[in-house]
Amino acid sequence: MKLFISICFFIFSLTLFAQDLDTKYIDKVQSMDSTLDALYEVISGEKDEERNWELFQYLFKPEAKLIPTGDDKNGIIETRYMSVEEYIKIANDFLKQGFYEVEINREVNSFGNIAQVFSTYKSFKSVNDTKPFMRGINSIQMLNDGKRWWVVNIYWMQESDKYPIPKQYLPH
């Protein structure tokens, strides 16, 4: 009986926690625009500025993957599949240097409750920087479940000499 009561209490606690997050962040995911704005805002910050990882996790479906691409040491393009939690562990050190990612163009294709967003970005180490150190495209898959928008996956590639960003994905 004690085990049953403990399990019920645990489930009740999880439900309350989820409701608290909904109360706290639901306005961040009511539209595709607000969800994408929150995504860029939460990963951006000055050197040693803490990120709101609770909000970051809230934006994503639990099974979501973050998938960077890039050349390996032999020049072969590879992908790396990370859960949201894995990304947070890795990103914490990188973001401590200061990192601002700014969306400069967005192309959206949608059908029903799904959307594919090509979001072109430029990155800075500080909000005061005028020249980006990197540009690229985030391919963001999204879902509207009727209550809110979710990030399902993010798959991205940095611009390089070999792969410049096509004009159609730059500001018009």
pLDDT of 48 above 70: yes
Q: What is the DSSP-derived secondary structure letter of residue 49?
A: P
pLDDT tens-digit profile of 99-118? 999 999 999 999 999 999 99
pLDDT tens-digit profile of 1-44? 565 555 545 555 544 445 566 789 999 999 999 999 999 999 99
Phi-psi domain of 32 (left: phi exceeds 0; alpha: psi -120 through 50; beta: other): alpha
CATH number of 15's domain:
3.10.450.50
Number of domains in the chain: 1
Q: What is the DSSP-derived secondary structure letter of residue 27?
A: G
Query: Percentage of the chain surpassing pLDDT 90?
Result: 78
SS3 for 147?
A: coil
Q: What is the mean pLDDT of the chain?
A: 91
Q: What domain range includes position 100?
A: 2-169
Q: Give the per-residue pLDDT at 17.
A: 47
3-state helix, strand, coil in the chain (%, to 5): 35, 35, 30
Mean pLDDT, to the nearest integer, of 131-159? 98
What's the per-residue H, E or C state across 95-143?
A: HCCCEEEEEEEEEEEEECCEEEEEEEEEEECCCCCCCCCEEEEEEEEEE
Query: Percentage of the chain surpassing pLDDT 70?
Result: 88
